[in-house]
Amino acid sequence: MSTAPPTPPDANLLRGHLDLILLSIIQGPPKYGLEISKLAQTATDGYFDLKVGSLYPALHRLEKAGFVRSEFTSGPRSGNQVKAYTLTESGGRELNTRRAEFQTFTQQLGKLWTLTGGMT
């Protein structure tokens, strides 16, 4: 029995966490844009469906900030050149900082839910 994919997040919610999502996916071996998008979609059962219009500007912004670097490499299937992204040392520190901030945020939100009797 298959389950329906989760309803995609509100665009503002996604936008507010896109850098954290991308840095999380990019850590480890180099990954190219389509691979990043597919990993996000697969790992979250379709919840994060990163569109080209938001993915590449965000990757460019992260690269400009020094959190990721890119280099051209041969694509996995066609052998055509693709831009692959890797986390820099400062990107790893940024990822750790953003994860800690997000964890604190969700813990504090959980306290509010407990105070108000949970979600309705």
Would you state the pLDDT for residue 68? 98
pLDDT tier, 118 (very low <50, low <70, confident <90, very high otherwise): low
- Structure-token match 């329906």, residue found: 4
**In this model, does residue 2 exceed pLDDT 90?**
no
**In this model, does residue 102 exceed pLDDT 90?**
yes
**In this model, does residue 1 exceed pLDDT 60?**
no
Would you state the pLDDT for residue 75? 80
The residue that leads in pLDDT, 15 or 55, is: 55
**Edge-first strand listing for the sheet containing 68-74:** 31-32, 81-87, 68-74
Give the percent of the chain with pLDDT over 90. 68
Count Cβ atoms below 10 Å from residue 86 Cβ, excluding itself: 15
The residue that leads in pLDDT, 22 or 11, is: 22
- What is the distance between the alpha carbons of residues 102 and 105, in angstroms, rounded to a whole number? 5
Would you state the pLDDT for residue 120? 55
Mean pLDDT of the chain: 90
Tell me the three-class secondary structure of 35-100, residue by residue: HHHHHHHHHCCCCCCCCHHHHHHHHHHHHHCCCEEEEEEECCCCCCEEEEEEECHHHHHHHHHHHH
Torsion on CA atoms 58, 90, 64, 24, rounded to nearest 10: -10
pTM of the model: 0.86
Q: Write down all domains in the chain, each with its CATH number in brackets.
A: 11-115 (1.10.10.10)
- What is the distance between the alpha carbons of residues 106 and 114, in angstroms, rounded to a whole number? 12
Give the percent of the chain with pLDDT over 70. 94
Instruction: Map residue 58 onto helix, strand or coil.
Output: helix
